[in-house]
Amino acid sequence: MSTATVEQEPASKVDLAESGEGAGAIQEFTITLKVRRYDPERAEDAWWDEWQLTMYGTDRVLDALHKVKWEIDGTLSFRRSCAHGICGSDAMRINGRNRLACKTLLKDLDTSKPIVVEAIKGLPVEKDLIVDMEPFFQSYREIMPFLINNSPAPSAERLQSPEDRARFDDTTKCILCAACTSSCPVFWTDGQYFGPAAIVNAHRFIFDSRDDAGDMRLEVLNDKEGVWRCRTTFNCSEACPRGIEVTKAIQEVKTAIIARSL
């Protein structure tokens, strides 16, 4: 194809280098992936596996796990569904911090040391990185995470002012990945605490002007295992992959319970 016949293309929004490899020059590096494995059918105790992998600057921890599972060891088990930070399936403990494997770029971690991946803490491990999420969802169910409105359903939407909507906007972002609850040292102790995620989702309805059951939810969270077990260590706020101000939401629920009682 001669260049003379090519039409002038519109200016690209991406600047590609004139010389060199341009966009093709994706950083390439070798990482050590260290995963805490557990399989009650193979061994009673958990063990650590390490793999050397050649990965690229665009790869995430999830890509490294995929590479192991698809090319090296098919027995490695983990949850993932959408792989794009929305479904909340692949929360795990990466280098000691709870994050989503699909949102953590390898190049943002220290690749000179092994990248340590474990299951989230505080919930029973079923296999490798898969934990039993039932206790987590049990607490979620108990705060009644659905709209309760006693007035007859209107023929159209229930309207709400932008200010009323903004009141609980932050807590609508929760994807139920359990990164917050499983980063909470109080939850680690005995698993009795409702946990940040349940409180965040209660907050989403308590402060919704269209909902009538705020008092019922405040009563549920006024339990000895409810909001009062929060020690404001901010682990949850740091862990949240959606950037929800979790500790702030918990404090707002505490304030609401006190305001209602006084």
Partner 1 sequence: MTATNSEATLPSQGTEAPRSGRVDPKYLRSNPSKGAFEMWAWLFMRVSGAALVILIFVHLWTNLMVGDGIYQIDFAFVAGKWANPVWQFWDLTMLWLAMLHGANGMRTIINDYAEKDSTRLALKSILYLASTVIIILGTLVIFTFEPCLVDEAGNLLEYAPSFCETAVN
- For binding to partner 1 (CB under 8 A), which residues are involved? 124, 132, 134-135, 137-138, 141, 144, 148, 185-186, 189-192, 222-226, 228-229, 231, 254, 257-258, 261
Helix (H) or strand (E) holding 47, with range, is strand 47-56
**DSSP string of 81-148, one letter each residue:** SSSSSSS---EEEETTEEEEGGG-BGGGS-TTS-EEEEPPTTS-EEETTEE--HHHHHHHHHT--S--
Neighbours of 114 (CB within 10 A): 17
- At closest approach, how far in Å is the CB of 225 from partner 1? 5
- At closest approach, how far in Å is the CB of 234 from partner 1? 16
> Nearer to partner 1 by C-beta: 85 or 135?
135
Q: CB of 55 within 8 A of CB of 61?
A: no
> Nearer to partner 1 by C-beta: 27 or 189?
189
- At closest approach, how far in Å is the CB of 254 from partner 1? 7
- At closest approach, how far in Å is the CB of 250 from partner 1? 12
Phi/psi at 259 (nearest 5 deg)? -60, -35
- At closest approach, how far in Å is the CB of 190 from partner 1? 6
Q: How far apart are CA 56 and CA 60, in angstroms?
A: 9
- At closest approach, how far in Å is the CB of 241 from partner 1? 23
> Nearer to partner 1 by C-beta: 83 or 148?
148
> Nearer to partner 1 by C-beta: 105 or 147?
147
Alpha helices, DSSP H, located in the chain: 61-67, 134-142, 162-167, 185-190, 196-206, 214-221, 235-239, 246-261
- At closest approach, how far in Å is the CB of 18 from partner 1? 59
> Nearer to partner 1 by C-beta: 50 or 219?
219
Comparing CA positions, the residue from 242, 172, 156 lying closest to residue 206 is 172
> Nearer to partner 1 by C-beta: 213 or 239?
213
> Nearer to partner 1 by C-beta: 64 or 143?
143
Contacts for 19 with CB less than 8 Å, ≥ 6 apart: none
